[in-house]
Structure 1
Amino acid sequence: MKINTGPIPQAILFSLIALAVFGAAFLGFQYYFPHPGANFGNETRYLLVRGGDNIEKIANNLYRMGAVSSESGFLFFSRLLKKDRLMKVGRYAIKPHSSLAYIIGIITRGESTPFDITVPEGYTISQIANCFESGVEIDMAGFREAVTDRKLIDSLGIQAPSLEGYLAPSTYNVYFCENPRRIVNRMAAHFFNSLPDSFEVKAKRLGLTFHQAVTLASLIEKEAMLDSERPIISAVYLNRLRRGMKLDCDPTVIYAMGGLDRPLLRGDLDYDSPYNTYLYAGLPPGPIANPGVKSLEAAVEPAPVGYLYFVARGNGSHVFSLTLDDHINAIQRIKRLNGQG
């Protein structure tokens, strides 16, 4: 039997070409046109790709959030284009009607969208670490190592065992699982860039070192709720320092005890720590929190007043007194007003 090795009939050739064109068009349609699930909605949603997530896990997360109508399409094209091993850790913004080409592209290029993380004034290093850990899942051990890095601290000219007090409160753009050392460097740089004008010069005029002024600012930050009272509280502490009086600052005791989830008790004032200003005269060894700019300003620009005492009213403001008798009377008056007397 003779086998025909002549030209392929035109009908078959056209059919094969049509099939190839149809197949290419179909694949292009699947890849370049959006095919979201019914539950995605009309707002941008975010996909987290964690270290250790394999391609199946990523596909499942995309399917569950409604970014794709099926896992198989994402898996097929990722593997076909050899992108399945190129997926990068991050937080990815998936817009409504995003195609597989767009989704695979941003993940493999690492076009991660940062979080806006706000660090409030008065947070301690521990609170800041928790803020970042819960928000962007940074390496907690790496963060603690960075804030106690002797080389970094020395490079900033800080005479302290850690960067407590030198991490500027602000809102930061932080990437998912970002290197904590980069975050710490950025916060420390922002602290020095946002220092009030002539801060160190003004501190020296008051008889304070740079570190002491930052420490004083941290006490002001923890005591003051009203901006108008920050310079007055600063004056009280400076007046007491000049007279050799203990500062009797409650927040220093709370800091010494590692933070409290209950009210400070009278017995706590005997807690032995160099940070306890009820037991030890002078400023504590270092800041007890990370102060904002207004507290830093108040530390070196105290109000021209002679007050030596203050007590909280319970509404965010304080009563300031010149003498101990006036202070005791103010305490009793506030207790009566609050129904405690």
Structure 2
Amino acid sequence: MATKKTILSITSSLFDSLATLKSVSSLTVPCYCLQPDTHNIQIHGFCDASIRAYSCSVYLRTQSSHGQVDVHLLTSKSRVAPVKKQSLPKLELCDDHLLACLYAKMKDIFSTGSVTTYFLTDSQLVLHWLQQYSITLSTFVGNRVSDIQALTVDKITGFELINVGDRLGFADLPGAQKHPILLPSTSQFVLNYVRYLHRRNYHAGSKALVALIRLEYWIVNDRDLTLRVVRSCVHCVRYKPVLAQQVIGPHPATRITLARPFERCGVDFCGPINIYLRIRGRAPTKSYLAVFVCFVTKAVLTEVVSDLSTHSFFNALKRMGGRRKLPCDIFCDNAINFVGASN
């Protein structure tokens, strides 16, 4: 814990050191960093971080036409580590972000000449992050990586293409199909490529475009992208055929009028069904089912009939009426047995 005595001791030691300077007038700080005949200019940015703070500094290295080299501190900046505890690699990334923002503010000073810029950091993990697409990283890391890439886009080199890994490593397929290159769907270049692929393949549909794209690339949300391309194609919209729509008539009154079950119903026969009497040497007999369907409740009632005669249908109708009362209206397909019963 810092006490009053400790603070006074540190302050006095600082002023005692300044008192030892015998000739302060001889101390000079140059404000002009270039040489009269500057031949080569280099900007070197350094950054480092600890768990308590992080800082960056920018040095200017100049070389005259005679070979004289001068190095001057151009500017620097520091920040205290955030209150919310972060890992050391994330603080190193914040340090790099601070250096990129500092460089963006001062780079216009040397826009007239040819300047070589170097950024140096001792964090291998940060260098790995800067070579990735920001959308593949976490929110904290991705936002800062995106800013650094935008501020120093002409200074970061060595980007690597991301390939999709899957379980087709042993498949007899070309390498581009087994491990396609990952592309973002928001890129204008990707949109133009999909449009070109759509026209080259005679205005292929959305599903065909997805299959063609995946022969070489893997686009994030490719189905939405291809559907948007097909729908925005003027040629496809103009020549899209209009399919004929079947006109559906209204329901008959017998289907929508309130009534008791099987008051209005339809009937038809199904079969034949073989019935075995389990008598040796006796051939099976054919039987049928009379199917009654209620038009209001869609209930189904079946009765077994021995043949397709009118008499058998009458017997089935009597059994059905004994359970559900005789219907008022019966609809059928005008088979011979039904016509005979009607007459």
TM (normalized to structure 1)?
0.22
TM (normalized to structure 2)?
0.22
Higher RCO structure, 1 or 2 (CA under 8 Å, sep 6+)? 1
Question: Which protein is bigger by CA-based radius of gyration?
Answer: 2
